[in-house]
Structure 1
C-alpha cells in the first residue's frame, strides 16, 4: 500500500470497501456497547469467535467463548445498577483485509450520570463469513495521575 500525503488523501475518492469495513467495525463496537448497557449476555457472546481470548480490565484471562460466557453470566446481569459504560471507536489498523486492531475509548458513568473512570480496550477482530468477530481482546483501565 502506497503512502500518500495529506493533500493527496483529501483529493482522492474514499475506497468504498474501506468505508464499508469501517462502518461494520463501528457497528461491532456499538453492539458491544448495546449488549453491555442492556445486560444481554447471549448477544454479547455472539460477538466473539469460538476460540477468542478476553482479558478483563482487572487482568482475568479468559480463553474461549465458554470461559467468556461463564464469566459474563456472573458479572453482566445487574451491572447497570452501578452505572453505564459507553464505547467509542477511536482508531482502526487493518493488519490484513480480514484482520484489524480496533482501539476503543471506554467511559464509565455512575448511576447518576457522573463520569467515574475510563478504559482503553484493544480488540483484535477477524472477519469470518462476512462478519467481524472479537478475537483477541484486552481491556485496560486508564489510571488517572
Structure 2
C-alpha cells in the first residue's frame, strides 16, 4: 500500500521522518523495548489504549506500558504500515496506521488482530513526539 498525504505538498523529509517513527513503534513493540517505545511520547501525551483506557501524561503511559509490553510478543508479533499522514501545521501531523498482529508462525491473527491506530505528533526543537494517540481495534 502506498501512503497518502495531505497536503500533498508536505515536505518529503517530514513524511520520511514520520514514517520512520512509526517503524520505530513497530520495532519497539516487536522487541518489547519499553524504553524505546516510551521515548516516542511527549511528557504531556494522552494515549487511549486498545481497550479504551485513557492514559494522561508520560507517567501513566509508562506505568501501563511497563505492565503490558514485556511478554506481549511471546505468542506472535505485530506490524505497522502508515496509510496516511495529515499535516495540521508544518509542526503537527497525524499518522493513520494499519496494525496487524501475527501469530507465532507469522500469519495474521483473525480479524480481531487488526488495528487502526492514529498518532498525533508535534515537533519541538526539530524532534517529533507523540502528543496524542488512539489504538483502535478494527471490528470485522
Q: Normalising by the residue count of structure 1, what TM-score does the alignment of the two structures yield?
A: 0.86
Mapped to 1, the partners of 2:106 and 2:19 lie a distance apart of 24
Mapped to 2, the partners of 1:40 and 1:129 lie a distance apart of 25
* Corresponding position: 1:76 with 2:74: no
Counterpart for residue 118 of structure 1: 114
Mapped to 2, the partners of 1:95 and 1:74 lie a distance apart of 33
Counterpart for residue 83 of structure 2: 90
RMSD: 1.2
More deviation in 17-26 or 46-55?
A: 17-26
For 1:8-27, list aligned pairs within 5 A: 18-27=11-20
Structure holding more helix per residue: 1
SS in structure 1 at match of 2:81: strand
Could you give the per-residue CA deviations for residues 69-111 of structure 1, whole angstroms, max 9, x where no partner exists?
0000000001111210101111011000000111000000011
Counterpart for residue 32 of structure 1: 25
SS in structure 1 at match of 2:15: helix
Which 4+ stretches in 1 moved above 2 angstroms? none
Shift of 1:66: 0.6
SS in structure 1 at match of 2:70: coil
Pick the structure with greater CA Rg.
1
How many residues of Structure 1 are paired with residues of Structure 2 in the alignment?
A: 130
* Corresponding position: 1:143 with 2:139: yes
Mapped to 1, the partners of 2:75 and 2:59 lie a distance apart of 26
Unaligned segments of structure 2, at least 5 residues: 1-7
Unaligned segments of structure 1, at least 5 residues: 1-13
Mapped to 1, the partners of 2:31 and 2:102 lie a distance apart of 15
* Corresponding position: 1:133 with 2:129: yes
